[in-house]
Structure 1
Amino acid sequence: MSLVVSSFCFCVLFLSCTIWFRELHITHRVQQNIRQCSLVPFLKTQASHVLIF
């Protein structure tokens, strides 16, 4: 009986960990995309400033 309970707890823990890692990965990718999108205009303005000087 205790073996069943422990295996069930292990499965729940494993599932929650995989879901958490997946969510973390998705949010990290979204943050990277946002950073790239916001960096592109910034880099363009920096390049234009360098070209002006």
Structure 2
Amino acid sequence: MQVISLWNFHSGNTDCTAQKWTVWDTSAPSTSSRWSSQLTWKQEYHSYIAFPAAAGAAV
């Protein structure tokens, strides 16, 4: 079994709502990879609903 730990520090989610994470297999990145010119998304391996533990959020 393989284990991966993901951390989401910069998403801007400040409203304390649950957010879905997905893990995908993609084509290899290059120096021309950009948000507007993304990799080929091949296969979704897993998804997860994350509940925030931000300051002030009801947990």
User: Is the pair's TM-score, using the shorter chain for normalization, greater than 0.5?
Assistant: no
- Point out the structure with max Rg over C-alpha: 1
TM normalised by structure 2 equals 0.14
Q: Which has the higher contact order (CA 8 A, sep 6+)?
A: 2
TM normalised by structure 1 equals 0.15
Q: Which structure is higher in strand share?
A: 2
